[in-house]
Amino acid sequence: MTQQQTQFQQSTPPAAFDRYTVEHETHYSYTAPVSQSWQLGRLTPRALPWQRLVSHSLQIDPPPDERHESTDSFGNSISHFGLHGAHRQLRVRMQCQVEVGDRPPFDSRDPMTVDEARESVRKRQNESEDLNAARMAEPTQLVPLSEAARLYAEQSLHPARPWVEALIDLTHRIHDDFEFDAGATTVSTSVDEVLQHRRGVCQDFAHLMLACLRGHGLSARYVSGYLLTDPPPGMPRLMGVDASHAWVAAYLPGHGWIEFDPTNDQLADRRYITLAWGADFADVVPLRGVILGGGLMQGMDVSVSVIPQS
């Protein structure tokens, strides 16, 4: 997802928020009828100081026999629904309008070092902030401790180096050292395999960056959402050709979470729409479930559109 740089300076101050319409549709088809289906969706963008959810709808076909809403331990919104009649397809369509403003500013020259950031979280120097951050320094099933990732990150994460400078350098290196290749990995590809083959997609690069940071005792979480992409010059914006995106939010004690995108070598800005976050991809899967029946094969098609409204 390479982003083009703006070729001109704005002559007027930017609006406080930019508005987008997001459409995310998932279509399952089955070779035999499904008699029972229980699904869990994380398809509601988060409400944040810099992000407003203006409207939201979740359309399910066939209509579910039961449905309820809840939040998980990370504060993500979850839709639970079940279908108890025979069906050969399931279509789930999320449509929303969301406004995104600027993330909280931070000082790029912040002198806090990598070692100081690690010790602050380890010792819980600020209980209200560091307690939750410490949870994000632990290994997970999808991002276990990786000696290869720890060694790869050493060049960037020197203990005496300023934290901000170190994180920007690590983001830049992952972008330069790894090739975006949509066919190279699956959802089960490990961090060590990505390091070995030096290719993958945004999920892989986010997991790799998490493994690098956690291997050095730093806190970071997996963020899922959408990114406004620019069509080639002179070409119209196409519908349904965008995709979900993933990036990393790392914790700087005394400031909070700063979002880095190693796939595109940049910080998250107004083009990034936050859907959910967690310790790894398993915590933020947009739609997952269990079915009875369906035959030996099932097909899944996903289409995403992010449409700017200004």
Residue 4 lies in a domain: no
Residues 131 and 278 in one domain: yes
Res 239: pLDDT: 53
pLDDT at 4 over 50: no
- Residue 300 counted as domain residue: yes
Q: Are 40 and 69 in the same domain?
A: yes
Number of domains in the chain: 2
CATH of the domain at 201: 3.10.620.30
Beta strands, E only, 129-206: 179-180, 199-200
Question: Are 259 and 130 members of one domain?
Answer: yes
CATH code where residue 81 lies: 2.60.40.2250
| Number of other CB atoms surrounding residue 80 within 10 Å | 15
> pTM of the predicted model, to two decimals?
0.91
pLDDT at 266 over 50: yes
Task: Calculate the alpha carbon distances from 47 to 44, 73, 77, 80, 275 in Å.
Answer: 9, 15, 10, 19, 9
- Burial code of 180-218, b = ≥16 C-beta within 10 A, e = fewer? beeebbeeebbbebbbeeebbbbbbbbbbbbbbbbbbbb
User: Quick one: 134 and 96 in the same domain?
Assistant: no
Asked if 59 and 92 touch (Cβ cutoff 8 Å), the reply is yes
Which range has highest mean pLDDT (2-16, 98-112, 237-251)?
A: 98-112
Query: The domain containing residue 161 runs over which residues?
Result: 114-283
Q: Describe the chain by its helix, strand, coil percentages, rounded to 5.
A: 20, 40, 40
- Please indicate, yes or no, whether residues 65 and 196 belong to a single structural domain of this protein: no
- What is the predicted pLDDT for the residue at 5? 34
Q: Are 58 and 275 in contact (CB under 8 A)?
A: no
pLDDT digits (tens, 9 = 90+) for 120-179: 888 875 666 666 888 999 999 999 999 999 999 999 999 999 999 999 999 999 999 999
How far is the CA of 227 from the CAs of 26, 146, 197, in angstroms?
18, 29, 26
pLDDT of 24 higher than 50: yes
- The verdict on 94 and 120 lying in the same domain is no
Q: Is 151 left (phi over 0), alpha (psi -120 to 50) or beta?
A: alpha
